[in-house]
Amino acid sequence: MKDREAACLSGQWFDVEGGADMAERNSGLSVPPSVRGVDRNLDTSSHAAAIDVRNMNFYYGEHQVLFDISLMVPERSVTALIGPSGCGKSTFLRTLNRMNDLVEGTKCTGECLVEGQNIMDPAVDVVLLRKHVGMVFQKSTPFPKSIFDNVAYGPRVAGEKNRSVLADLVESCLRKAALWEEVRDRLHTSAMALSGGQQQRLCIARTLATNPRIILMDEPASALDPASTDRIENLIGELCANYTIVIVTHNMQQASRVSHQTAFFFKGHLVECGPTMQIFTSPSEKQTEDYITGRFG
Amino acid sequence: MSVAAGSQIASPEISFSSGGDSTIRRRLLLSLIFKWVCRLMTYGALAVLAVLLTSIVWNSLGRLSPGFLVNHYSMNPARCGILAGVWGTFWLVLLTACFSIPIGVGSAVYLEELARDNVIVRVIKVNLSNLAGVPSIVYGILGLTAFRPMTLFLQELFDGRHAINVMGLFRVRLLQLEIFDGNVLVGAMTMSLVVLPTVIIASQEALRAVPSSIRIASLALGATRWQTIWRQVIPAALPGISTGVILSISRAMGEAAPLMMIGVLTVASMCPGGIESPLQLITNPTRVLSVPFDQFTAMPVEIYDWSKQPDPQDRFTAVAASGIVVLLVVLLLINATAMIIRAKTARGLKW
């Protein structure tokens, strides 16, 4: 941990866990240090699969946007989805809690096992699914209510009425989202008055309040300033000990900093998926390497 | 040398003063003329309105008094009052609101939030604005043909039977219900038809103004569609809905044509249910139950009647003018309420 911080301070731009020699060995590709809490050398092969997607195809009307995607997400780890705009990574993310159901004329084939159950099954209750698979959006979307009511919304719609239970839950979720110290004195003021970064952390706290197993994040920091982005990334590092996180990001350095596993999407195909260190240092596909080195995208 | 050359190039080639170029002067002149034409139109319309209002207020002077509000109709213009019209309009608008708000807001929620986008829904959406443009007299004819048979049925049901036996155990004495033709209920149902399209359209606009991110965020937190609508969408749309609803219902106050069609009284010397002051609502609340089935008149109907009242000295003109002033004041009060509600509830709803 110490030397990782030292590397950050000295501005060295190579991987610390893997060692400088590894970065040099691999055709000059370099990887920034990971955030605290994300051990990129973590062996996730022993982890059970939180999400197991098999041969998924997705269509908007006649237009196919995802082609035969198969991807395994190990539990209690961070999986980053990267790729150029319009490659289908956000669509893929939204199939994982069936948010695409809200768009008319979509069709999805294949299997998507979440905690062992195929969520494509028509018998699956999307309301229960979304309680277990939370989602954080690119644009923070606080409800025009108080901070307290925002966080308590999920438990309340699930039927929790006890005020003291709600109060405890709101505090613990705000603490987990690293927002408690900033808002503890104004829990009952409007959430719309918070800054952009605070709003996004509020949205994360709100998602945590439904007690999900999996958190999907759709470019959670792309609308934020660098300092707020930093806080969100550190938050992901803290949360991944207890939650399975799937994050879509445009920012490749962010993907390399926060994830254990990286999946590269291109034109609706999953080109490559593997441990983050491997994807960023020695990708097996030429397209991945071109994208990572900035030759396109 | 180089500085001098630079300034020499700049001054004749580019000039920001509008003196030299003739095209720009013509364009600016045209722009100025256009502005003044628009200004003239606006002030012209305002001037006509001012003349109308002043003449009405002028005519009402000397006749409009507190007594005008508490007196019944009289053949004597000096003693004639608008009391029956005020109460008639009050009950009419109240019942119209009871019918049109749930139906209107419910339809808007269905059309905007729940209905799948198919041909029927699209046809309904397009035709709502057509319905809003239908002349109110047409709704009057509809009310006459559709709702009057209901009155006849009720008349038959209640005729001479003021008590019913409940399962042979005890007798319940019903109110002395007399069902009249052209009663408040039929009037309110007809008026609901008149205002429903505008209530629905106003509510739809308000619902559409709620950002969809709110709905998506709510659904992503495991809320059902109903919870999302009830806890997020409707509260956020409430300022818009309430203003729209109040404004469209205030339209019902000014309508005379559909009421004339269903045959309300033009000359009334009694109020619905016999309630003539707010105090009687407390002292004799059971009378309210007979209000819907009672005859009534409304302010615009009375005004219309006064304005065509034959009088050698033309003294009913002042009565009609006073009626118009009362009607306008009530309308302004309602619109002001709508504005206050909007300002109060819209606080903290900035996206």
Domain identity same for B123 and B13: no
DSSP state at residue B295: B
Domain identity same for B158 and B23: no
Domain identity same for B180 and B52: no
Are the beta carbons of A128 and B222 separated by less than 8 Å? yes
Domain identity same for B287 and B239: yes
Chain B closest CA to A195's CA: distance in Å? 13
Q: Please indicate, yes or no, if residue B3 is contained in any of the structural domains.
A: no
Task: State the helix-helix crossing angle for A147-157 and A196-208, rounded to 10 degrees.
Answer: 20
Domain identity same for B35 and B127: no
Question: What pLDDT does B12 receive?
Answer: 59
Q: Please indicate, yes or no, if residue B66 is contained in any of the structural domains.
A: no
CB B241 within 8 A of CB B206: yes
Domain identity same for B102 and B26: no
- Taking the Cβ of residue B216 and every Cβ of chain A, the question of whether any pair is shorter than 8 Å is answered with yes
List the domain range (segments joined by +) for residue B14: 8-60
Q: What is the mean pLDDT of each run of 10 residues along chain A (297 residues)?
A: 44 41 47 80 80 92 91 92 89 91 86 89 88 90 91 92 93 91 91 90 93 92 87 90 92 89 92 90 88 77
Q: Please indicate, yes or no, if residue B254 is contained in any of the structural domains.
A: yes
The H-or-E segment that residue A136 falls in is strand A133-136
Helices and strands per DSSP (H, E), number in chain A = 12, 10
Three-state SS letters, B111-165 = HHHHCCCCHHHHHHHHHHHHHHCCCHHHHHHHHHHHHHHHHHHHHHHHCCCCEEE
Q: Please indicate, yes or no, if residue B2 is contained in any of the structural domains.
A: no
C-alpha A15/C-alpha A253 separation (Å) is: 12
Total structural domains in chain B?
2
Are the beta carbons of A192 and B348 separated by less than 8 Å? yes
Q: Smallest Cα–Cα separation from A45: which of A72, A69, A80?
A: A72
Question: What pLDDT does A20 receive?
Answer: 40
Chain A closest CA to B223's CA: distance in Å? 6
> Counting beta carbons within 10 angstroms of the beta carbon of residue A211, is it exposed (0 to 12), middle (13 to 18) or buried (19 or more)?
middle
Chain B closest CA to A103's CA: distance in Å? 11
Are the beta carbons of A104 and B216 separated by less than 8 Å? no
Question: What pLDDT does B11 receive?
Answer: 55
Question: What pLDDT does A295 receive?
Answer: 75
Q: What is the mean pLDDT of each run of 10 residues along chain B (351 residues)?
A: 48 64 83 96 96 92 84 82 89 93 95 88 90 91 88 71 59 63 89 93 93 92 92 90 88 88 82 83 80 87 86 81 92 88 70 46
Domain identity same for B55 and B186: no
The H-or-E segment that residue A157 falls in is helix A147-157
Nearest to B221 among A139, A192, A210 (CB): A210
Residue B349 CA: distances (Å) to CA of A279, B146, B202, B218: 45, 42, 18, 16
Domain identity same for B132 and B204: yes
Question: What pLDDT does A297 receive?
Answer: 60
Residue with tokens 């900033």: A182
- CATH code at B117? 1.10.3720.10
Amino acid at A73: V
Q: Please indicate, yes or no, if residue B113 is contained in any of the structural domains.
A: yes
Q: Please, what sign has the CA dihedral across residues A139, A143, A144, A146?
A: negative
Domain identity same for B166 and B194: yes
Q: Show Cβ contacts of residue B256 under 8 Å, excluding neighbours closer than 6 positions.
A: B298, B300, B301, B303, B304
Are the beta carbons of B223 and A153 separated by less than 8 Å? yes
Question: What pLDDT does B174 receive?
Answer: 58
A-chain CB neighbours of B117 within 8 Å are: 104
Domain identity same for B29 and B119: no
Domain identity same for B47 and B117: no
Q: Please indicate, yes or no, if residue B1 is contained in any of the structural domains.
A: no
Size of interface A-B (CB pairs under 8 A): 66
Q: Please indicate, yes or no, if residue B100 is contained in any of the structural domains.
A: yes
A-chain CB neighbours of B219 within 8 Å are: 99, 102, 130
> Counting beta carbons within 10 angstroms of the beta carbon of residue A251, is it exposed (0 to 12), middle (13 to 18) or buried (19 or more)?
middle
Q: Show Cβ contacts of residue A272 under 8 Å, excluding neighbours closer than 6 positions.
A: A263, A264, A279, A283, A284, A285, A287, A288
Question: What pLDDT does B176 receive?
Answer: 58
- Taking the Cβ of residue B115 and every Cβ of chain A, the question of whether any pair is shorter than 8 Å is answered with no
C-alpha A13/C-alpha B196 separation (Å) is: 67
Of the residues A94, A143, A199, A203, the best mutation for testing chain B's interface (the one with the most B CB atoms within 10 Å of its CB) is A143
Predicted-complex ipTM score: 0.82
* Plot region of A85 (φ>0 → left; ψ -120 to 50 → alpha; else → beta): beta
Chain B closest CA to A143's CA: distance in Å? 7
Domain identity same for B150 and B272: yes
Q: Please indicate, yes or no, if residue B249 is contained in any of the structural domains.
A: yes
C-alpha A119/C-alpha A129 separation (Å) is: 8
Residues of chain A by 3-state class (helix, strand, coil), percent to 5: 40, 25, 35
Question: What pLDDT does A4 receive?
Answer: 45
Question: What pLDDT does B13 receive?
Answer: 67
Backbone angles phi, psi at B163, to 5 degrees: -140, 145
